Amino acid sequence: KNLSPSTPIRCHRLRCSRRPISPNPTPPHTLKLLLLDRDGVVNADVGSPGVIRPSQLLLTPGAGRAVGRAQRDGCHVVLVTNQSCVGKGIIREDELGEIMAEVQRLLLEEDADASLDAIYACTSVDGSGDPRMKPMPGMVLEACRDFGVEGGECAMVGDTARDMQAAQAGGVESRVLVSTGYGFSLMGDRLPSGKNEFINSGKGMPPELSSSLPFVYTENLASALNWLFGDDADTGTVHASTPKGEASADQNII
């Protein structure tokens, strides 16, 4: 949690491992680690080249409450995000740190328990071969290693095929695609049928998404948490003051 934009964003060479994936996605019995994409999941996607200044950030509905809920249930929450705007020279690493600090501030403003335990960011560009860049599982494997969890103890919530592919390749058994961000268009410009839709057939899907079956399709991060925790409402108490952490540009981006 020691967020410092002066800390270099590291790239580790990791071996990719593939674990058997359950044919029917079910929430983990004990969710220990929640992996979240950023743009389109935690905050609204603004299109290319992505968020390049803090003022562009707007949380998706209920995102802060969802993160706070996970923390109240004893689950670590981390961001796993591609940020090629740095590799392209559009923004600097310190500016990325300021944007990440604003994400944390907005989350805590909505729910004082909504602290992020770590931020994993890959700043490489497409075609670089970086094993940390989604759809490669490098950042997923790093997070699982850092928090000492197995694939059956964590879940990935994303809005792109790359998110689902990275989670699958990293052995994450519970994968959730949200309709915010790119999820809506990937699913044929339609919302989920029902609160949570189990997707087992790739008919009509882009091949990169159908290769990541099965997954759950749901409206947004808040509804994803409802599915992952097995109910439709947060029964925890939202603390409106005394946050666990302060929003700061001194956050450690891994």
Can you read off the two tokens belonging to residue 163? 């998110």
β-pairing, 174-178 vs 154-158, is parallel
**Residue among 194, 90, 79, 96 nearest 142 (CA):** 79
C-alpha–C-alpha distance, residues 222 and 227, integer Å: 9
Q: Is 39 a catalytic residue?
A: yes
Burial class (CB in 10 A: 0-12, 13-18, 19+), 210: middle
The amino acid sitting at 54 is: P
Say whether 250 is catalytic: no
What is the helix, strand, coil percentage profile of the chain, to 5?
Answer: 30, 15, 55
The catalytic position among 39, 45, 130, 159 is 39
Give dist(CA 33, CA 149) in Å, integer.
7
Asked if residue 125 lies in contact with residue 87, where contact means CB atoms within 8 angstroms, the answer is yes
Question: In Å, how far are 51, 123, 124 from 9, measured between CA atoms?
Answer: 18, 8, 10
Task: Write out the two tokens for 20.
Answer: 């058997």
Catalogue the active-site residues.
37, 39
